[in-house]
């Protein structure tokens, strides 16, 4: 998967999270971000990888997101791997 495609999936995942108040509040609690700091965080190099890491850490969230995007959860995981490859590869 290309980096551009992985970033597109991550951006869609971020939209999925922020379009629901409960999902957003949980994301903010887990990430330590605040509504007023998201824009700054989004400019950092690892933001998209962090979004996909968050989605990947919760199976229900992963499956729900994949269903809304009409993609397989495995594609989300591939995007996650593309943006944050293992140090052993």
Kindly state whether residue 40 falls inside one of the protein's structural domains. Answer: yes
Which DSSP letter does residue 84 get?
Answer: S
The SS3 of residue 78 is helix
Kindly state whether residue 38 falls inside one of the protein's structural domains. Answer: yes
Domain that holds residue 69: 3-83
Kindly state whether residue 46 falls inside one of the protein's structural domains. Answer: yes
Tens of pLDDT, residues 12-54 = 999 999 999 999 999 999 988 888 888 888 888 789 999 999 9
Kindly state whether residue 23 falls inside one of the protein's structural domains. Answer: yes
pTM value is: 0.86
Kindly state whether residue 68 falls inside one of the protein's structural domains. Answer: yes
Kindly state whether residue 89 falls inside one of the protein's structural domains. Answer: no
The domain tally of the chain equals 1
Kindly state whether residue 20 falls inside one of the protein's structural domains. Answer: yes
The label of the residue with tokens 């903010």 reads 28
The candidate with the shortest Cα–Cα distance to 78, out of 46, 58, 40, 49, is 49
């Amino acid at each position: 998967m290309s980096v551009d495609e992985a970033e597109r999936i991550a951006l869609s995942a971020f939209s999925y999270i922020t379009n629901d108040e409960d999902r957003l509040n949980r994301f903010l609690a887990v990430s330590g971000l605040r509504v007023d700091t998201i824009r700054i965080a989004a400019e950092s190099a690892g933001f998209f990888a962090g979004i996909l890491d968050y989605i990947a850490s919760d199976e229900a969230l992963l499956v729900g997101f994949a269903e809304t995007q009409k993609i397989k959860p495995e594609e989300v995981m591939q995007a996650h791997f593309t943006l944050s490859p293992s140090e052993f590869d």
